[in-house]
Amino acid sequence: MTNYAYVSLIPLLPLACFVVLGLWGRKRFKTFSGIVGTGSLLASTILSFYTAYQYFFVDGKVNGVYQHIIAMKYTWLQFSPNVSIDMGIMLDPISVMMIVVVTFISLMVHVFSLGYMKGEERFATYYAFLSLFTFSMLGLVLSTNIFQIYMFWELVGVSSYLLIGYYFDKPSAVAASKKAFIVTRFADLGFLIGILILAFHAETLDISTLIERLTDHQSTQFVSITTGSLLGVSILTWGLTLVFIGGAGKSAMFPLHIWLPDAMEGPTPVSALIHAATMVVAGVYLVARLFPVYSIDGAALDIVTYVGAFSALLAAVIACTQTDIKRVLAYSTMSQIGYMMFSLGVSRYGGENGLGFMASMFHLFTHAFFKSLLFLGAGAVIHLVHSNDMKDMGGLRKFMPVTHISFLIACLAISGIPPFAGFFSKEEILTAAFDSNKLIYGVALFTSGLTAFYMFRLYFSIFWKKESHLHNAHGEGTSTMKIPLIILAVCAVIAGLLPFSNFITSDGAALETHINLVFSIAPVLLALGGILLAANLYKTENNKPEKVAAALGGFYKAAHSKFYVDEVYIFVTKKIVFNLIGRPAAWIDKNIVDGLMNLIASVTEKISELIKGLQSGKVQSYTLYFFAGIVGLAAVFIYLWK
């Protein structure tokens, strides 16, 4: 067995980079900070590729099954003799896959940002935050301990907060960063309580031990967590659902998705990294991490399934109506994550039943490439046009050929056109859904048609539609911006061809999968239909989109307004929480609780007001009181105190 201790360098290099750039970046590395960040990440990337090679091809497998390898583990905080937070590194197929994805996409984003963020005043800070994010995300996926996941979970949240609010003088960016943090924090509350429940019953926080205990039907821990119930639902379901709420918050599942579109206020490369490829799939990763436990609890998995499928559909519908290109991509991300979620939900543990799990991970993998490509492409477009709105774009294909081609590839990939990456993963998801739940399959199929439609709506609106009026076109951007696009485009083409099911499955054993051509006909045709429809409506400038919108009437309007979910939230927070809880609390404190204290003080004052007349300052009245006292005491002692 190889010593995997070097894996710890993968997250620690970005951390070191964060510390160095955060402390001295502004003064010492003003212009070099990009190089420093990119260099350290390149080292991490190489290490993680090496790790993947070691793990998948050299010694990860024992008897045909990939093992969980604990590369290192240190007790970080001991709560009680058997419950502790450990910091450690666990290697298993999904964590190894994730470190490859995270370091690789992060590297692309680092390189792209060299050109995109050039000349920014807080360039060093930007790279420091990117490094912080990369560190946290790597720490998250390598966790051995559920509390370790929670810690890094919070850290990715805060790095996302810092990066969304990067343009801190823009009020909308500040509001968006705040919203992202608070909404995910709210979800994390569920996660935290879920952890408390699971940890209490499993008597451990260690993921491997927890899974072992809660899947063993004989163990006392399993008995205690399944026999106990609250409101007619077993404790296990409660725990898992609460954990899922945490995941749903991070992964922007309905109804906790409202932060994701707003998060697009951050710099575009950040959106590509955090809000497309890595952080937002943390929820999927979390469910996958605890999948053996989820798989024994049908109720929790059903929740995952329906939330995922509904989010996929809802986001796809909204995406068709948005005009901000980054928001379209954001909703598309949400929709694709919905796919991953319900694919996990319809899956079961082990063998053929685990197809959904494998499909979900596969989609996570391919999605990372084409979605970050889409975002970086959008970034390049925005860099050129200085606007996020589709209306300001059109006909850009001549100005930016590289971006155009790579964007087209990404669109084809996400739409599921063979032989691009998205086709393969989406096929597996649809197969898994078809095998277990026809309703979900229907939703997924319809959504995949919608996906093709809105992606090509985006594509045609940016690159075709009208002839461009750009006069001062300064070209496509630096080569550091183009190279990542090209690399990612290549990945978006070939990633689907990997024999993914040989490596990553629910139980670690290889799974035979094959593309059933008959089965593929329906989704591909639907996707092509979507593309043709989009081409018809948006390839040239015409008034058909307006007509369609008018024909759809209220539904279009509702979708355009994102089904008023934001308004509901604003109503709940501003009107209910602030007015009915916050204000009364502050009022009660000021007037009743503090009033009580002041009342005690003023009563004391009143009493002293009453008796202060005795202190008249007249010596003779004092003498009189004195003698009266003496007489009184004398009377008491002589007559009463016998």
Partner 1 sequence: MNISLLVILPILTAVALLFCNGLKQVRTVSLIGATVQLALAFALLILYWNERAAGNTAQMLFESSYTWFAPLHINFHVGVDGISIAMIALTSFIVLAGVLMSWKEDRMPKEFFFLLILLSAGAYGFFISLDLFTMFFFLEVAVIPKFLLIGIWGSGKKEYSAMKLALMLMGGSALVFVGLLGLYFNTDIGGGVHSFDLLQISQMHIPVEVQKMFFPFAFAGFGIFGALFPFHTWVPDGHSSAPTAASMFLAGISMKLGGYGCLRVATYLMPDAAHAYSWIIVLLATIAIIYGAFATMMQTDLKYINAYSSVSHCGFVLLGIGMLTQTSITGAVMQMVSHGLMTALFFAAIGMIYSRTHTRMVAQLGGLLKMMPFISTVFVIAGLCSLGLPGFSGFVAEMTVFMGSWQNPDTMYRIATILACASIVVTAVYILRAVGQSVMGPVTDSHYLGLKDASWNEKFAAGLLIIGIVAIGIAPFWLNELITPATDTIMQHAVKLVTLK
Partner 2 sequence: MNDIPLTHILFVSTALFFIGMYGLFTRRNMITMLMSVELILNSVNINFVAFNKYLFPDKLEGVFFSIFVVTIAAAEAAVAIAIIINLYRSHNSIDVEDAGEMKY
Is 627 among the residues that bind partner 2 (CB under 8 A)? Answer: yes
- Residue 159: name its binding partner from partner 2, partner 1, none (Cβ under 5 to 8 Å by kind): none
- Residue 474: name its binding partner from partner 1, partner 2, none (Cβ under 5 to 8 Å by kind): none
Taking residue 582's Cβ as centre, other Cβ atoms within 10 Å add up to 12
Q: For partner 1, which is the closer residue by CB, 237 or 437?
A: 237
Torsion angle of alpha carbons 541, 543, 545, 550, nearest 10°?
Answer: 170
Stretch that binds partner 2, among 12-20, 101-109, 421-429, 616-624 (CB under 8 A): 616-624
- Residue 627: name its binding partner from partner 1, partner 2, none (Cβ under 5 to 8 Å by kind): partner 2
Q: Which of 440, 382, 428 is nearest to 520 (CA)?
A: 428
- Residue 168: name its binding partner from partner 1, partner 2, none (Cβ under 5 to 8 Å by kind): partner 1
DSSP string spanning 532-549?
A: HHHHHHHSB--SHHHHHH
Which H helix or E strand runs over 274?
none
Is 175 among the residues that bind partner 1 (CB under 8 A)? Answer: yes
- Residue 612: name its binding partner from partner 2, partner 1, none (Cβ under 5 to 8 Å by kind): partner 2
Return the residue matching tokens 């979507």: 530
- Residue 158: name its binding partner from partner 1, partner 2, none (Cβ under 5 to 8 Å by kind): partner 1
Is 445 among the residues that bind partner 1 (CB under 8 A)? Answer: no
Report the C-alpha gap between 521 and 545 in whole angstroms.
Answer: 28
Structural tokens at position 355: 């197809």
Q: How many residues does the chain have?
A: 642
- Residue 175: name its binding partner from partner 2, partner 1, none (Cβ under 5 to 8 Å by kind): partner 1
Structural tokens at position 624: 């009189």
Is 189 among the residues that bind partner 1 (CB under 8 A)? Answer: yes
Report the C-alpha gap between 208 and 267 in whole angstroms.
Answer: 38
Tell me how far, at minimum, the Cβ of 581 lies from partner 2, in Å: 46
Is 155 among the residues that bind partner 1 (CB under 8 A)? Answer: yes
Q: DSSP E strands: which ranges in 180-331?
A: 229-230, 233-234
Tell me how far, at minimum, the Cβ of 589 lies from partner 2, in Å: 34
Return the residue matching tokens 């355009």: 560
Report the C-alpha gap between 176 and 170 in whole angstroms.
Answer: 10
Stretch that binds partner 2, among 88-96, 483-491, 506-514, 621-629 (CB under 8 A): 621-629
Is 357 among the residues that bind partner 1 (CB under 8 A)? Answer: no
Which H helix or E strand runs over 61?
strand 61-62
Q: Please list the alpha-helical segments (H only) found in 417-516.
A: 421-436, 438-463, 479-494
Is 618 among the residues that bind partner 2 (CB under 8 A)? Answer: yes
Q: Are 406 and 489 in contact, with CB atoms under 8 Å apart?
A: yes
Taking residue 27's Cβ as centre, other Cβ atoms within 10 Å add up to 8
Report the C-alpha gap between 318 and 332 in whole angstroms.
Answer: 9
Question: Who contacts 200 (Cβ-Cβ below 8 Å, separation ≥6)?
Answer: none
Q: Which of 473, 456, 385 is nearest to 414 (CA)?
A: 456
Tell me how far, at minimum, the Cβ of 600 lies from partner 2, in Å: 21
Tell me how far, at minimum, the Cβ of 575 lies from partner 2, in Å: 53
Is 72 among the residues that bind partner 1 (CB under 8 A)? Answer: no
Tell me how far, at minimum, the Cβ of 153 lies from partner 1, in Å: 9
Is 77 among the residues that bind partner 1 (CB under 8 A)? Answer: yes
One of 32, 49, 76, 446 touching partner 1 (CB under 8 A)? 76
Q: Are 89 and 99 in contact, with CB atoms under 8 Å apart?
A: no
Tell me how far, at minimum, the Cβ of 234 lies from partner 1, in Å: 16
One of 58, 616, 633, 636 touching partner 2 (CB under 8 A)? 616
Q: Which of 191, 156, 179 is nearest to 258 (CA)?
A: 179
What is the size of the binding site for partner 1 (CB under 8 A)? Answer: 50
Is 80 among the residues that bind partner 1 (CB under 8 A)? Answer: yes
Q: For partner 1, which is the closer residue by CB, 181 or 369?
A: 181
| Site track for partner 1 across 598-627, x = CB under 8 A | ---x--------------------------
Report the C-alpha gap between 135 and 128 in whole angstroms.
Answer: 10
Taking residue 547's Cβ as centre, other Cβ atoms within 10 Å add up to 11
Return the residue matching tokens 């007037």: 591
Q: Which of 326, 463, 459 is nearest to 394 (CA)?
A: 463
Q: How many CA atoms lie within 13 A of 124 on its CB side?
A: 16
Q: For partner 1, which is the closer residue by CB, 588 or 628?
A: 588
One of 1, 610, 619, 638 touching partner 2 (CB under 8 A)? 619
Residues 582-601 that bind partner 1 (CB under 8 A): 582-583, 585-586, 588-589, 593-594, 596-597, 601
Tell me how far, at minimum, the Cβ of 617 lies from partner 2, in Å: 3
Pairing of strands 83-91, 69-80: antiparallel
Is 231 among the residues that bind partner 2 (CB under 8 A)? Answer: no
Report the C-alpha gap between 537 and 453 in whole angstroms.
Answer: 10
Structural tokens at position 328: 């379209």
Tell me how far, at minimum, the Cβ of 587 lies from partner 1, in Å: 8
One of 24, 28, 31, 75 touching partner 1 (CB under 8 A)? 75
Tell me how far, at minimum, the Cβ of 636 lies from partner 2, in Å: 21
Binding residues vs partner 1 (CB under 8 A): 26, 75-80, 83, 85, 147, 150-152, 154-155, 158, 161, 165, 168-171, 174-175, 177-178, 181-182, 185-186, 188-189, 192-193, 196, 199-200, 578, 581-583, 585-586, 588-589, 593-594, 596-597, 601
Binding residues vs partner 2 (CB under 8 A): 612-613, 615-620, 623-624, 627
